[in-house]
Amino acid sequence: MFFLIFLLAVPFTFFWFWAIIDCVRNESDPQTRHRWLLIILVFSFFGAVFYVLMRRSNRPKRLPPGGSDGESKESSSIFVPRRN
């Protein structure tokens, strides 16, 4: 029984810490950061899941260090519909 609890508690704890670290690193507005940290800390695992579902999907993608997303400017600025 202890082993089963341990198997569940360790990943949940790592996920909770990861959500806290992600919030501190990626939330730019201090007020928003404090609110999300409060939610994550008070509601623990469920707060972390809520944060990930609500905030990670709304955040824009980060560009790689070169500053380009791999597409040329011509292909990203002109929309060309695909033909089937």
The residue that leads in pLDDT, 83 or 18, is 18
Q: What is the pLDDT of residue 60?
A: 64
Residue 34 scores a pLDDT above 90 = yes
Boundaries of every domain in the chain: 2-57
Flag whether the pTM goes above 0.75.
no
Q: Report the candidate in 9, 61, 25 with the shortest Cα–Cα distance to residue 36.
A: 25
- Model confidence pLDDT, tens digit, residues 48-66: 999 999 986 666 666 666 6
In the block, residue with structure tokens 């999300």 = 36
Q: Is the pLDDT of residue 35 over 90?
A: yes
| CA R_g for the chain | 19
Encode pLDDT of 63-77 as tens digits.
Answer: 666 666 555 555 555
**pLDDT, position 78:** 62
| pLDDT in the model for residue 2 | 84
